[in-house]
Chains A and B, each alone.
Chain A
């Protein structure tokens, strides 16, 4: 009982990885099925179920779910068109999957006692590495060595010596900011989800311990509880917004791969 209470009050407890069932190690790696894997799978299954249902009817006058699916489709398509133009639509399946995977992971994490997979930098880091790998791979495949023009923005008319000096400073800076991209991309999603869920848990914990403590706790508890309710609403906003930010930054980076010359 005591241990249970401690686990419930500790704001970091929700981020612990727990093995649901053990699997034999492969090449020395522990591939046991954890709660992170479980909730990711849940998000994917919910996503497939949602779009499977939304797309299965195909009525001319859509019902609510079909309408939601269609709006989601149009939303991502518009986002790609707006940032990369029509030719970026070849990445539509990738960006669409990415957006809805993150959105569903965030929203599943909003259910009490659920595990938020996007609050782990392993997950967000791998997603952003995937994005950057596609940007580099596609950029090199489509543009060849011109892709590296990304690091050398055109300077216009300038003396050759001046150009050399400016490029000597500018190219390392551009390379560093390019390498920093996957870092910021993953860091933003991870930090937002982590901080939000810790705050939620903290205020909820204050409410519970305030009631338990009595005295001034009766004043603190309602305040903390109303704060928790407000934060809950904010977290839903953040869940959607961060999925959107991740997807739109992916589009911006893909745009660099499509048109590397500035």
Chain B
């Protein structure tokens, strides 16, 4: 009787512990993704993409201005800028998923999102 009681108690403690761990885990995930609202995300990706394209255009215009290779510098650097922008968005996305869900990125340890 008493041993049954004990094992029952142990089972209940284990259940309560796992439940608490679960909530703690969820809380941690929520903490990590706190403030990452849809608007903030849009702003982040938008800034990442727009800034790279802007820099590409500016470099292209600069090359054209100093070397007199009008439209070609702008055209080529614009393409590089677009590519850099997409790469920046992918990096930002990776950073975010790494931050909010470390379990998913655990298999590729050492892959710094900024690399």
Contacts and interface: CB of A to CB of B under 8 A. Distances in A.
A242 to B, nearest CB: 9
Contacts of B81: 176
Interface string B95-115: 000000000000000001011
B52 A176 contact: yes
B55 A183 contact: yes
A93 interface: no
B115 A177 contact: no
Interface stretch (B1-9, B11-19, B21-29, B43-51): B43-51
A165 interface: no
A172 B77 contact: yes
A185 B112 CA distance: 19
A64 B51 CA distance: 42
B80 A172 contact: yes
Interface residues of A, number: 23
B84 A173 contact: yes
Interface string A223-262: 0000000000000011001000000000010011000001
B10 interface: no
Given A184-B47, A238-B35, A176 B55 contact: yes
A22 B114 CA distance: 46
Given A173-B83, A180-B52, A191-B47, A237 B115 contact: no
A211 interface: no
A123 B59 CA distance: 24
Nearest to B92: A184
B34 interface: yes
Interface in B42-90: 43-44, 47-48, 51-52, 54-56, 59, 77, 80-81, 83-85, 87-88
Interface in A156-184: 169, 172-174, 176-177, 179-180, 183-184
30 contacts: A169-B83, A173-B80, A173-B83, A173-B84, A176-B56, A176-B77, A176-B80, A176-B81, A177-B84, A180-B48, A180-B52, A180-B54, A180-B55, A180-B85, A180-B88, A183-B54, A184-B51, A184-B88, A187-B47, A187-B51, A188-B47, A191-B43, A191-B47, A192-B43, A195-B43, A237-B34, A241-B34, A241-B35, A252-B114, A256-B114
List 9 tightest A-B contacts by C-beta distance, closest first: A183-B51, A176-B84, A180-B51, A177-B84, A241-B35, A180-B52, A172-B80, A173-B84, A187-B47
Given A153-B115, A176-B52, A180-B85, 14 more contacts: A169-B83, A172-B80, A172-B84, A176-B81, A177-B87, A180-B48, A180-B55, A180-B84, A184-B51, A191-B47, A192-B43, A237-B34, A252-B114, A255-B112
